[in-house]
Amino acid sequence: MKEAINWHKRSNSESQIRRCTFANQLGGKDAMLPSELAKTIYLGDRAFKSLTIDGSESRIVIQIDEISRVRDPSGKWNYYNDENIVDGLLVFSEVRSILFEPTGPIPNDYIDYLEAELLPDGFYRFRVSAGSVNELSQSTDVLITMDAKRFHLEDPTKPGFVIES
């Protein structure tokens, strides 16, 4: 069964909604809550490529070498590759804070996990753990913690469209 993918075309200050219509296993929902969307993303054996901070837009973008989706009701990936996004983007909007632990190492290796939890004030706390390998081949786990209101995926082959389900 094909999955529903909702796309929203974003232009600087205005949004135009466009939908790709597929059989909707998601029960007719448009955009998922950020915490639910995070559960549908598989990043195992995937590499952290870049992180961009856009302070004027309160936006953080993390590029991953390939993003897969978890669509099995069991919550397991099960090697589902129909919606893979090569060089996919994790986009966090309305970001109020970011923290790197430890400070110093730059993430440049495999992703350990992505998780999201709702905070009492309506923001979500996102945690992304990724490895950092230095010139001596020493590895350090880096935890990136962000508080943001919104989260979506973007496919660089479809500029301006966001995936929220």
Instruction: Output the pTM of the full model.
Output: 0.81
**How far is residue 123's CA from residue 129's CA, in Å, rounded to a whole number?**
19
Asked, for residue 40, whether it belongs to a domain, the answer is yes
Token pair 């590029």 in the structure block, residue: 63
Q: What is the pLDDT of residues 49-64, one digit of tens each?
A: 999 999 999 999 999 9
Per-residue pLDDT at 21 exceeds 70: no
Where residue 8 falls among pLDDT bands split at 50, 70, 90? very low
- Pair 146, 54: CB distance under 8 Å: no
Using one digit for the tens of pLDDT, what is the confidence trace for 68-105?
999 999 989 999 999 999 999 999 999 999 999 999 99
β-pairing verdict for 111-118 and 59-64: unpaired
As for how many domains the chain has, the answer is 1
Domain housing 73: 32-163
Q: Work out the pLDDT band at 161, boundaries 50, 70, 90.
A: confident
Establish if 134 belongs to a structural domain: yes
State the chain's mean pLDDT as an integer. 85
According to the model, what pLDDT value does residue 160 have? 83
Which residues contact residue 40 at a Cβ distance below 8 angstroms, ignoring those fewer than 6 apart? 32, 69, 70, 71, 165
2 part of a folded domain: no
Residue 129 lies in a domain: yes
pLDDT of residue 158 exceeding 60, the answer is yes
Decide if 18 is inside a domain.
no
Could you tell me if residue 27 is inside a domain? no
Residue 158 lies in a domain: yes
* Residue at 112 is within a domain: yes
Backbone angles phi, psi at 5, to 5 degrees: -130, 120
